[in-house]
């Protein structure tokens, strides 16, 4: 094929973000768009005026205009759209979270297991330059065996979305699924053990309390602490605050092992490495990180661009997805467990949610 043909299902903010990235990826062309919202469709069409436009994702699937499809529709639509897509031989990149419920994630997993085409989950934080460097350093043994991961995200509130769908947990899966699946995926990618238990505390204390949609007040958490324990004794913690936009770095990650500590700061794009017996407090290695491959930074420091390069290469080479449906499932399971822990005031074992 001369160019890999892409369809975009869901052309709101994230759909447009994917289009902007794909316009800068060699060897691909966006050939089709689908969204039930006329304004979203028209805005995206301005970026790719030669693309066919559809009001329903099934029309895009049946058009025979695509080799690969990006799903960037609202979270609660993923299950139905993926059910239709995974019955085809189209390659699929689905935005996080995989689905809003564990049952829907398992349904998608069953469908994906029976197909040869790639199904890739868009957990692109793995590819942020500083975080990618942190992961590489940990994999190379910089900290020895990882024992602790700490992730802090202090950021702005949820953005406005089409029809305000992201104001309610029934649509998003809840903040700890919608937003934090990225961080639970990073924990599982970094730690050598398997996650087994979650303990969380959180609430909605500041954001959206004065908003009304159809007579309802939003119910999305805006802050939480989440501890994830692993079967080898390791543990990870998330510190989330979504009314902390007056901050220098939105994300700060650290991994500590028996031989040292690695930190990543985003968007400062700095990695700090301290080695036990070599470095001391205040005197560690400091590295500014940059990825020359990134042609478009967008909303996520260029990580979506790297994700698209890797997805394209896997499609063209017949390779495997780096971020699998199983990875997407596990990130949702931990988020659901965290919400259950908050709601019920107890630790939640993942075996309560995972298939035996």
Q: What CATH number is attached to the domain comprising 106?
A: 3.40.50.720
Q: Among 24, 31, 25, 40, which residue's Cα sits nearest to residue 6?
A: 31
* Residues 257 and 295 occupy one common structural domain: yes
Pairing of strands 146-154, 235-241: parallel
Question: Is 326 among the domain residues?
Answer: no
Non-local (6+) Cβ contacts of 12 within 8 A are 35, 37, 40, 72, 73, 74, 161, 162
- 356 pLDDT tier (thresholds 50, 70, 90): confident
* Residues 184 and 201 occupy one common structural domain: yes
Distance CA 266, CA 285 (A): 17
* Residues 39 and 171 occupy one common structural domain: no
Report, as an integer, the average pLDDT of 104-126. 97
Question: Is 164 among the domain residues?
Answer: yes
Q: Per-residue pLDDT for 1 more than 90?
A: no
Residue range 146-179, pLDDT digits in tens: 999 999 999 999 999 999 999 999 999 999 999 9
* Residues 117 and 130 occupy one common structural domain: no
Q: Per-residue pLDDT for 287 more than 80?
A: yes
Whole-prediction pTM: 0.97
Q: In the block, which residue shows the tokens 């500014």?
A: 288
Question: Is 52 among the domain residues?
Answer: yes
Q: What is the pLDDT of residue 106?
A: 98
Report, as an integer, the average pLDDT of 24-38. 98
* Residues 269 and 285 occupy one common structural domain: yes
* Residues 341 and 207 occupy one common structural domain: yes
Question: Is 144 among the domain residues?
Answer: yes
- 2 pLDDT tier (thresholds 50, 70, 90): confident
Q: What is the domain extent for residue 233?
A: 126-299+331-352
Q: What is the pLDDT of residue 230?
A: 98
Total structural domains in the chain? 2
* Residues 133 and 64 occupy one common structural domain: no
Question: Is 27 among the domain residues?
Answer: yes
Distance CA 134, CA 23 (A): 29
* Residues 139 and 101 occupy one common structural domain: no
* Residues 116 and 130 occupy one common structural domain: no
* Residues 315 and 273 occupy one common structural domain: no
* Residues 270 and 347 occupy one common structural domain: yes
């Amino acid at each position: 094929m001369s160019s890999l043909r892409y369809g975009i299902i869901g052309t709101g903010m994230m759909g447009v973000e994917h289009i902007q990235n794909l316009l800068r990826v060699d060897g691909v062309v966006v050939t089709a768009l689908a969204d039930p919202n006329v304004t979203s469709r028209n805005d995206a069409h301005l970026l790719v005026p030669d693309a066919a436009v559809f009001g329903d994702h099934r029309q895009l699937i049946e058009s025979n205009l695509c080799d690969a499809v990006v799903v960037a529709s609202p979270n609660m639509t993923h299950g139905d759209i993926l059910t239709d897509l995974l019955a085809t031989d189209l390659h699929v990149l689905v935005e996080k979270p995989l689905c809003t419920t564990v049952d829907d994630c398992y349904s998608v997993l069953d469908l994906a297991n029976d197909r040869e085409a790639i199904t890739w989950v868009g957990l692109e934080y793995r590819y942020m330059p500083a975080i990618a460097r942190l992961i590489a350093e940990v994999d190379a043994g910089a900290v020895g065996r990882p024992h602790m991961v700490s992730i802090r995200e202090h950021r702005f509130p949820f953005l406005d979305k089409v029809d305000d769908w992201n104001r309610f947990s029934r649509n998003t899966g809840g903040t700890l699924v919608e937003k934090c699946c990225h961080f639970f995926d990073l924990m599982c990618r970094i730690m050598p053990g398997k996650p087994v238990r979650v303990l969380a505390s959180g609430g909605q204390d500041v954001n959206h309390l004065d908003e009304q949609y159809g007579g309802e007040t939003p119910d999305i958490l805006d802050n939480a602490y989440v501890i994830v324990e692993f079967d080898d004794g390791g543990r990870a913690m998330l510190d989330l605050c979504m009314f902390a936009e007056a901050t220098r770095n939105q994300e700060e990650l650290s991994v500590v092992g028996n031989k040292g500590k690695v930190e990543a700061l985003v968007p400062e794009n700095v990695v700090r490495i301290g080695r036990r017996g070599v470095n001391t407090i205040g005197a560690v290695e400091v590295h500014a990180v940059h990825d020359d491959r990134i042609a478009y930074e967008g909303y996520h420091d260029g990580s979506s661009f790297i994700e698209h390069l890797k997805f394209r290469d896997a499609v063209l080479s017949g390779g495997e997805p780096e971020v699998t449906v199983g990875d997407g499932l596990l990130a949702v399971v931990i988020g659901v467990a965290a919400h259950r822990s908050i709601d019920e005031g107890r630790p939640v074992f993942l075996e309560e949610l995972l298939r035996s």
